Structure 1
Amino acid sequence: MSWITFPATSFMPIQATEIAKEVDLLYAFLIVSSLVSFVILIGGMTWFLVKYKRTSVDQKSAYITHNNFAEFLWSFIPLLILLGIFYWGMVIFEKLRVPPEEVAAEIHVTAEQWAWTYTYANGKEFYSAGEDPLIVPAGKPTKLILTSKDVIHSFFVPAFRAKQDAVPGKFTQLWFEPKEPGEFIVFCTEYCGTKHSGMMIKIKAIPADDYAAWFHAEKKGAETPADKGKTLFAQKACASCHSLDGSRIVGPSMKGLFGNSRKFADGSSANADENYLRESILVSSAKIVEGYPPAMPVFQGQLSDEEVNNLIEYIKTIK
């Protein structure tokens, strides 16, 4: 098996994803449009300085008549260009932030001073201090679920033009799709302490078939996060209030919960993503589902971050 290690360039990092091309195109447009605007502004100002330069003490200042149409054009045309740039950037931002509905790999990435831990759905777990790369499939979308144990960190892959903060007590997400196999450097771009600059890891993209074989090979962990979550769900007697088959008991059913919209007693609604599930587990009174009593106890301080993550991974499996 051969690997491609992409070289750095003098201007921009390599474009390892299709979105990276779109980001660079917008960036190039901003540079060119800024240059054109600079030439028009400074060139026009210089021309006026030369053309209307006062050549004698007695010479009166030149008078330029007012032109409403000209003033409208030099305000309206830049406005259209700026609105176009805003819309263009919004479309790219949406692509960067919203992962596809179907992803080939979903990996939990936990930051701490000064390392990353990545946990796969099958229970494999790696710690970056041991120089293990983050292995992902090439040509397939990968979703990372990020959090932090201590301070704010930031997961930045220049070759993917992808960056997302890892925040304590909260889940954020990042997705990418490497075009081909290779190794790509990841930086922490949020200052996090004395060893911040050394918090670098590698993403190793391998062919999709090789990734599937690696993923299904013997795992390091005895149980998957979802397996551990299922055990914890039983230990905490969650099933006494939350059914798994869609039937109504004390609390809302867990069947098909993840990813669906929830309506609350105060009239608001939210999508049942990782952050919603985390909040509902730890502080159950924060959002009361419409039609149900606020009967669930608060588990904040009783469950570790790992246990909460495991419960969420189990809930995801209840379709």
Structure 2
Amino acid sequence: MNGDTDARLAASFRLLAQSASSIAPRSDLLFTAMLLLCGAVAVGVCITLLWFCIRYRQGSAAVRGTVERKLGIELAWTLLPLLLFIALFTWAAFDFVRLYRVPPDALPVYVIAKQWMWKLQHRNGRREINELHVPLGQPVRLVMTSQDAIHSFFVPAFRLKQDVVPGRYTGLWFQATELGEFPLLCAEFCGSEHSAMLGRIVVMPPADYARWLDAGNAQPGPAQQGFARFRQLGCSGCHAAGSTVHAPALEGLPGRLVHLQDGRTVVADDNYIRDSILLPHKDVVAGFAPVMPSFAGQVSEEDLQALLAWLHSTKGPP
């Protein structure tokens, strides 16, 4: 009996927390390397300090005259740690860039944080609150914004944490590598019930996920909702292909380079599109008059994400 208990304990022991995403092992390896490097430097400094305390203690026979300069030693203790930490920084920067370089086949999920819940919507229109169902082995792209305070989307098992900020979009992607349920937390104090802003990520086999997704309430997806709002708000009167009003074409806009009236060139990312709807005079496209009205107060966060989803659906192959 004791042998079985010891075996179970040995099997459940983890030096690091459970990792369940493609980025988690790389994050753990980077953290371990940083810990070992910093630990080695700290131990080396402590050993050297202890040796100096003993070697040059009061009453010892150590020579305390002028110390001859050793250029080789000075270069070694300066350049070697510098090169090691530069290598560590380069490693971390590579992983950071990889985390924000979204695979073209990633499933989009639209996230709105509010006090005190997570509201999520899948590409076919199915909605969830404080839960996110995803397929095993499939990249998932999160497009996130906040309706009120700053929140932080934190999944410890995936080694992911991203601030969710009102007035702008943030995002990241992940690929789950283990089946099961994993805690979803808010890691930014967001009000009196911050500690209750809890959720879970449910990782399912792809076939089960497809059945679960199709079993949701029948409703238009975000792209269809966005196109409907595009027409309801009267945007098609200026931006449609057959419009008599001189306005920029919107099809295929996301990711495109846009030349502005003030000479700047920007990429039409999600935040540029959001600002163009709410603050149309902020970045006026070259060759067009600043006549577009602001839709601030007329569209909700759900509307903005739906319009964004529709614009992304008009893009060609990556």
Superposition TM-score, scaled by structure 2 size: 0.89
Of the three residues 113, 120, 124, the one matched with 2:126 is 124
Aligned counterpart, 1:240: 237
**CA 1:205/1:248 → structure 2, altered by over 3 Å: closer, same or farther?**
farther
Deviations 1:242-300 (A, max 9, x none): 1358x995111112112222221222222222211111011111111122222211211
Q: Which runs of 5+ in 2 are unaligned?
A: 1-10
Matched, 1:304 2:284: no
- Aligned-partner Cα distance in 1 for 2:115–2:173: 23
Cα pair distance change 1:102/1:267, threshold 3 Å: farther
Residue matched to 2:7: none
Q: How does 1:86-101 map to 2 (within 5 A)?
A: 86-101=89-104
Partner of 1:164: 162
- 1:78 equivalenced with 2:81 (yes/no): yes
* Distance change in 2, residues 1:290/1:203 (3 Å): same
1:30 Cα deviation from its structure 2 partner: 1.2
Say if 2:105 is the partner of 1:107.
Answer: no
Q: Which secondary structure state, in structure 2, belongs to the residue aligned with residue 275 of structure 1?
A: helix
Match of 1:68? 71
Q: CA RMSD in A?
A: 2.2
Cα separation, partners in 2 of 1:9 and 1:91, compared to 1, 3 Å: farther
Deviation at 1:127, TM superposition (A): 2.0
Instruction: Supply the distance in 1 between the matched residues of 2:62 and 2:198 (Cα, whole angstroms).
Output: 67
What is the DSSP-based 3-state SS (H/G/I as helix, E as strand, rest coil) of the residue aligned with 1:146? strand
- SS of the aligned residue for 1:18 comes to coil
Change (3 A) 1:228 1:18: closer
1:260-271 matches, cutoff 5 A: 260-271=256-267
Confirm or deny that 1:293 pairs with 2:293: no
**What secondary structure does 1:116 align onto?**
strand
Once the two structures are superposed, the pairs formed by residues 151-300 of structure 1 within 5 Å of their partners are 151-215=149-213, 217-220=214-217, 222-244=219-241, 250-300=246-296
2:134–2:204 CA contact under 8 A, matched in 1 = yes
1:44 aligns with 2:48: yes
Q: Identity of aligned pairs, percent? A: 36
Contact 2:140–2:173 (CA<8 Å) still a contact in 1?
yes
1:100-122, CA deviations, whole angstroms, 9 ceiling, x for partnerless residues?
1221x211111111111111121
- What residue in structure 2 maps to residue 316 of structure 1? 312
Q: Within 2, Cα distance between the matches of 1:38 and 1:218?
A: 56
Offset of 1:125 from its aligned partner? 1.1
How far residue 232 of structure 1 moved from its aligned partner, in angstroms, is 1.8
Matched, 1:27 2:31: yes
Aligned to 2:239, what secondary structure does the other structure show? coil
- For residues 219 and 142 of structure 1, the distance between their equivalents in structure 2, rounded to whole angstroms, comes to 19
Aligned length, in residue pairs:
305
CA–CA distance in structure 2, aligned partners of residues 61 and 253 of structure 1: 80
User: Which runs of 5 or more structure 1 residues have no equivalent in the other structure?
Assistant: 1-6
For 1:59 and 1:175, the matched residues in 2 are separated by 60
Distance 2:181 2:225 in 1: 32
Cα distance per residue 1:20-42 (max 9 Å; x no partner): 11111111111111121112111
